[in-house]
Amino acid sequence: MKTLPLFPLPVVLFPGTLLPLQIFELRYRRMVKECLASQTPLVMLQARNASTPDIDFYTTGTTGTIIDWQPLPNQMIGIELKGEQRVRVSEIHKESDGLLVGEVEYLNSTLLAGSEQQSVRLAEITAHLAQHPLLSFSTARINDDTADAFSYQLAARLPFSGADKQRLLEFDNPVARLELIYTLLKEY
């Protein structure tokens, strides 16, 4: 377990995706400076309610590494986060300035490499997805090794609700994640 700063916002950060943010609160400006100085990630957690992000948030999120930053007017900081790895947060504490920190457990995907049944299902799902009018990609590039990253990229880019994006983040298995994406896309 590792202790990391928490950043609850009404947004989901997926592994392998980028998220630009403007940081203005004093506690989060401190967090950014400390993350940059120590070269450590922060944890993005989706807030259930935008008006109470520090109180009501999901405990499954994604570590984010600051890959770029720039000072902005009014002492704000512009950052770009790169999603790294899914985590589950526990033992949350509030520091004196209100910054939340928590113990994180790193979560891994559970695609069974070489499982013929999963590989066949992955091919079926990606073939169905490739036919959707909102999507355009080559199914030849999606296999057991790329399914996780591909499913995160789709989940981040498609116009799903925050609750649906959170459900997608919480799936351990990329084939199951792609199945849910396919089901959700039937509504569009």
pTM of the full structure: 0.91
Q: Specify the pLDDT at position 114.
A: 58
Q: Specify the pLDDT at position 89.
A: 98
Spell out the domains of the chain, with CATH numbers in brackets. 2-106 (2.30.130.40), 116-185 (1.20.58)
- For residue 168, give the nearest of 150, 145, 146, 151 by alpha carbon: 151
pLDDT under 50 in the chain at which residues?
Answer: none
Q: Tell me how crowded residue 140 is: count the other CB atoms within 10 A of its CB.
A: 8
Q: Specify the pLDDT at position 30.
A: 97
Cβ partners under 8 Å of residue 133, min gap 6: none
Q: Tell me how crowded residue 162 is: count the other CB atoms within 10 A of its CB.
A: 15
Amino acid at 155: A
DSSP-derived pairing of the beta strands 42-46 and 2-9:
parallel
Could you read off the pLDDT of 30-64 as tens digits, one per residue? 999 999 999 999 999 999 988 888 899 999 999 99
HSE-CB for 95 with a 13 A CA cutoff: 14
